[in-house]
Amino acid sequence: MKYAIVDFRISDEEKGNLKKLGYEILICPPSNLLYEAVCGHPDILLHIISEDTIMVHKDMNKEFVDKLISINFKVVFSQNNLQEKYPYDIFLNSVNMPNLFVHNIKYTDPNLMLYIKDKKTINVKQGYTKCSTAIVNDKAIITSDKSIAKALINENIDVLLLPPGDILLPGLNYGFIGGCCGLLNKHSMAFYGNLENYLYGDEVIKFLEKYDINPIYLSSGKLIDRGSIFIVNKEDHQNELGEKQNDGHYM
């Protein structure tokens, strides 16, 4: 089974389109410890450590934790408590790639650090690291943050650096590119909104084409930052063959 972990404010249109693509929806419960604009953003409330392990903030809703456990995820908890003011809301908001871990390391949760100790850690000034970064593949990312771009270029990562702005985030001036999208698989990336309604959409489309990635638009309006879309897979043995046969049917 394929699951999409999303903000609780996902629209019915976006939710319906994810379901049409074969994804079960896991609504990330909001935290009343955060300010409203980001209170339900998955990339602040949890961190995908591996295919089998998810770290959630230590005060995560118990029903959501039980749901993750029921579909055979190992759930581990942060050491830190979320707080409304920066930087006490960023401790899980990091970029985790196969060989690299990118964050403002001073504020990374200590429990998360235990899980990435075999990776090279890259320290950047931007605390909202995952919000600011769309991971294209193991060797390419999109960001509007200069500190992230500079650091990853030095690691031989191909970086599309975009100007900030023109992404909606109700309650704040603008959102971030990483918060409005997520990889569905190695050949498709889903967006909240349509790149044709984004000032730098042509640049993003060309960059995705370079890596044979098809943009999937979950809604037709402007891009909106709802926190990253996290895709996790848990296939049972009975459905495994069918899932493999159907993979990419919407491409």
Q: Would you put residue 225 in left (φ > 0), alpha (ψ -120 to 50) or beta?
A: beta
244 has pLDDT over 60: no
Share of the chain above pLDDT 90, in %: 92
Q: What topology is assigned to 2-246 in CATH? A: L-arginine/glycine Amidinotransferase; Chain A (3.75.10)
Give the list of residues 6+ apart from residue 79 with CB closer than 8 angstroms, or none: 58, 109, 110, 111
pLDDT, position 235: 62
Mean pLDDT of all residues belonging to the chain: 93
Classify burial at 58, counting beta carbons within 10 Å of its beta carbon; exposed 0-12, middle 13-18, buried 19 or more. Answer: middle
Percent of the chain with pLDDT over 70: 93
The DSSP H or E segment spanning 4 is strand 2-7
* 67: number of Cβ within 10 Å: 16
Q: What would the pLDDT profile of 158-170 be if each residue is shown by its tens digit?
A: 999 999 999 999 9
Spell 240-250 as b/e; 16+ CB within 10 A means b.
Answer: eeeeeeeeeee
- Tens of pLDDT, residue by residue over 182-238, are 999 999 999 999 999 999 999 999 999 999 999 999 999 999 999 999 999 986 433
Place of tokens 């809301």: 89
